[in-house]
Amino acid sequence: MSNPIPKTTDPLVTTPEIPAVGQPIKNGLGQLIHLVGTWNSVPDGEFSWNTMPLPQDDVHDGFILKNFPYLEEISFAEIPGTAPNRGSGFTQVANTLFYEQRVYFSPSSGGMFPVPPSAEYTLVHAENGSWLFLDVDRQFSGAFPPDGSAPVPLPDGVTSLPVQDPNVTIVKQMSVPHGNSILATGKVTPPAEFPVNPPPIVSPDNPGTPKLSTIAGVPSIPQLNAIPNFEGAPYGASKYGASVIKDGVETNANINTNIKLVHYLKANPPKNYIHFKVSAPAPRITNITFETKHALVNSYDMEIWLLNPGTPEMALMYYQNIGMSMTLSSSTATGTKVITFPHTTSNVVVPVKS
């Protein structure tokens, strides 16, 4: 008997229709406002792929691969409030989306890594967290003024607010039940363009209506390389299958999961898109003790391309590249090896129709 198909159209996290206090922030989210709602995979996970190394005793090279297509659901919701960061004479506004994601094994057509029937449609990954839009131009001096009052004057001798780094305008805060937490920062292109000379700002949820532009054409998708590394050389590459280069692009999805995104773009070229990119080096990643000793997560990169924003053809493509230092050992040997493993995933999701 096969497993039931999960219902991936039910929202995992929502914005209250009638919040007790305040209203959900919209203008203050910039380009992140496009993400609000629930998204799920195109049918059968056709444009998804996951590369997942697992330590395995007494096999060649000390690890196996559990690569597979997958189905997913992810929901984003505004909150009726803000997260002001207060310091010295200034305040930075961080407007927020909460999100939750669930990923399931998709039925496999076979190949190198068939998904057994007992695993089809079972949960393989879950995470939740928040996305922040850091308002570059709408900072406040001093504490927040009460609604309707003039902004607090700048400190003596100061003529302007500090300039926020334009390369750090969005943040992804995430937690996964392996015992990892990640704080990734980056930017969105094009940025949200707020009015240059707005009326007096009396609260962070009133920054003026931004212009949300797009980039015309089809995005360029970077190639990934999921083959692990040991002491500067590829390790266990034969497990990933032969490299297949076509027109300068690696087409073996076990090596370059992003080939799935390339295939989607060829079948569904967009008219325009928005690009989100965040990353986290080791100091912004925490691991529980077991993970630190055996499967340390030490880097994180994610890119999102929102295709045809605001139209019926809208879709969201992404990849994640999680760098892991995995300790491999064997019951028949005394030594261990610490291998650098890229854990990569790529997928295309579309909005759930209401």
The pLDDT value given to residue 221 = 98
Instruction: DSSP for 286-337, please give it.
Output: EE-HHHHHHEEEEEEEEEEEEESTTSTT-EEEEEEEEEEEEEEE-TT-S-EE
CATH superfamily of 27-351: Calycin beta-barrel core domain (2.40.128.20)
Token output for 196: 């240059």
Is the confidence at residue 136, as pLDDT, over 70? Answer: no
CB 258 within 8 A of CB 223: yes
The pLDDT value given to residue 139 = 63
Is the confidence at residue 84, as pLDDT, over 50? Answer: yes
Is the confidence at residue 141, as pLDDT, over 70? Answer: no
Is the confidence at residue 183, as pLDDT, over 80? Answer: yes
Token output for 185: 């920062």
d(CA 107, CA 117) in angstroms, rounded, equals 8
pTM over 0.85: yes
Return the minimum-mean-pLDDT range out of 17-26, 126-135, 169-178: 17-26
Most confident of 3-17, 56-70, 274-288: 274-288
Return the minimum-mean-pLDDT range out of 170-184, 197-211, 267-281: 197-211
Dihedral sign, CA of 7, 12, 16, 20?
positive
Is the confidence at residue 20, as pLDDT, over 70? Answer: no
What rounded mean pLDDT belongs to the chain? 87
Going from N- to C-terminal start, the domains of the chain cover 27-351
Length of the chain: 354
d(CA 219, CA 1) in angstroms, rounded, equals 42
Is the confidence at residue 278, as pLDDT, over 90? Answer: yes
3-state secondary structure 246-269: ECCEECCCCCCCCHHHHHHHHHCC
- Return the higher-pLDDT residue of 46 and 353: 46
> pLDDT grade, residue 9 (50/70/90)?
confident
Is the confidence at residue 1, as pLDDT, over 60? Answer: no
The pLDDT value given to residue 140 = 60
d(CA 182, CA 186) in angstroms, rounded, equals 13
The pLDDT value given to residue 94 = 85
Return the minimum-mean-pLDDT range out of 118-122, 254-258, 286-290, 349-353: 118-122
Residues sharing a CB contact under 8 Å with residue 120, sequence separation 6 or more, in sequence order: 2, 3, 105, 106, 107, 108
